[in-house]
Every structure is written in structure tokens, then in C-alpha cells.
Structure 1
């Protein structure tokens, strides 16, 4: 049973986040290991396994990039642990520019403004790429969607690096 089936959903990128959360709560209540504390060991082990499966499925389905990656894997395009590099030269150049901007933030006259500007730029790109991947997945353009997910994963890592940099600058 795949994660979508577990939650009674059609395997597609767009989903109702509140319905997903509500189904998660219902499944957790039904299969929480505490409910099986007095049950035989076999039933307890099944409950623990089922609860872990529910938690993993929910974590993947609630995160749009992870959900897109999971949809791709269901359709024969498993990106986890791959070593293939992105071939989009324009995006590779953009990556280098963002890295340079991130390095320059430390010495900016207004560090907060520099961080905010970079974050805004990258979030705008994230939003555009999310629209692309939704359309590509809806059209079952698996290879294009896989490349877009690769871009999104890089973008999310950049946003994490910005947060780490901001946190480190606040500690000074």
C-alpha cells in the first residue's frame, strides 16, 4: 500500500492539507501503540510498525517537494540518492550567483536587508518552480518534473543555509 492509498487519496501532487492532517489524526488515534499496550506482543509490534508507516507517509505527503519526489518514485523515477546532476545551464549559473550573494551577505553594510533580499529572491524562484512541478506532474511529464524537483531540492537547501547564516550572525 502506498502513502496515498494509506490516506485514502488519489496519487496526485495537489491535495487538501487540512484533510490530510485530519486523516493523519484519525489514523494515529486508531493505530497508536498505546492503544495496544495490553494486547499480545504480535499485535503491539504490528501497531508500532503501522504507526511508523503512518508517520512516514504523513511527513512525505505534507511536504510538497517530498510529495513530488514520492510521486515520481511511484512512476519509475526514484531521485533518492541519485548522483545525476542537473543539466540546466541557466539554473547552474543561478546557483553560483546565489552562493556568491550568500558569501557577500556577511560583509554587507546592512546584513538584515541583504539576507531578506536574498531570501525573497530565492522564495520567489521556489514558488515559480512549485507551479512548474505541479503542472508537469499533472501532465505526467516525469523527466521534466524530476529536473524541477532537483531544482527545488537545491532551492530548499539554499533557504536552509540562509537560515543557518542568519542564526549564526544573531549569535555574535
Structure 2
């Protein structure tokens, strides 16, 4: 099942979130076993469809999972062969430097403010990479989009780690 088709969205990275949300509620009203008045499908099929609707919504609603899903579609469509020319050394070095910076921030006074600033920088970096990903997908440059997504995956993990650290710092801050 293609989730873009399910939600009546063009198969592209940039989507209209309002259409996604509205279509989600329409589909849930139509297929959710608890909400469906008509017997369109057998109860088991209704549940299966409701699960697919939820999965599709969760994938398309998040930029990271949407990019990953779109890349998978294009890889199948263009019979993409993995090309391992991604400069892993460069990315590993960047990853090491970012983790090092996180450790330095954690151990400094006023670290909560600094972690917030660092999160903003990482979000900007992610945004820039998503723009490049979108451009390459539009131009059907799947190999380039794949390389960019590899980088996005790494930055996304850093952002998740930073958010966890921020949460821990906030709890410590509240206790004082």
C-alpha cells in the first residue's frame, strides 16, 4: 500500500499537513471498527485498514520517516542499486566532534541554555539537509538523495540524544 495514495497526497517530500490530517480523520471515520457505522468491510479487515491508516499517518507526518519512506519508493521505482560511495570517515569525524561538544556542554555551568542553543543549531542543520534531500528527490537524483539521507539519519540521532539530555537537565533544574 502506498501511503501517499491512501492519503491522496502527491508522492513528494513536501506535503500539505492539513490535507494529511483531514484525510486521516475521514479515513478513520470510514474504517475504524469503533467508529464505522456501515459494514463496509469485515470487522477484521476494518481493523487492518485502521492500522494501515495509523501507520501511514505516522510515517507521512514526520519529516524523517517520510523522507525514508519516499526514498524506499524511489529506490524500488528506479531499481536503485546501493552505491557505497558515502564518505563515512567524514561523517564519523563529524559525529565524533558533535558528541564531544555534547559532553563539553553537559559539564559546563548554564548547560541547559547551551543545550537549547545547540538543539537549534542541529535543527537548522537538519532543515538544510532536508531541503537538499527534497531538491534531489524532485530531480530524481536518487543516489545523491540517499547520501543526504544517510547524513540526515546521523543528525536526527544526535537531535534525539540532545532532546533526552535536555529532558534530564530540565528535571535536575526543577529539583533545585
Regarding TM over 0.5, the answer is: yes
1:123 to 2:123 alignment: yes
Q: 1:140, 1:30 → 2: CA distance?
A: 35
Structure 1 residue aligned with 2:33 = 33
Preserved CA contact (<8 Å) 1:36 1:44: no
Structure 1 residue aligned with 2:79 = none
Structure 1 residue 170 displacement after superposition: 2.8
Preserved CA contact (<8 Å) 1:101 1:118: no
Preserved CA contact (<8 Å) 2:112 2:170: no
Deviation per CA, 1:119-156: give whole Å up to 9, x if none. 12211111110110010110111111111112112212
Q: Structure 2 matches for 1:1-172, cutoff 5 A? A: 1-35=1-35, 43-76=42-75, 86-172=86-172
Structure 1 residue 94 displacement after superposition: 2.1
Partner SS for 2:75? coil
Change (3 A) 1:140 1:98: same
Q: 2:70, 2:39 → 1: CA distance?
A: 36
Work out the number of aligned pairs and report it.
Answer: 166
Change (3 A) 1:85 1:143: closer
Change (3 A) 1:142 1:21: same
Runs of 5+ unmatched residues, structure 1: none
Runs of 5+ unmatched residues, structure 2: 77-81
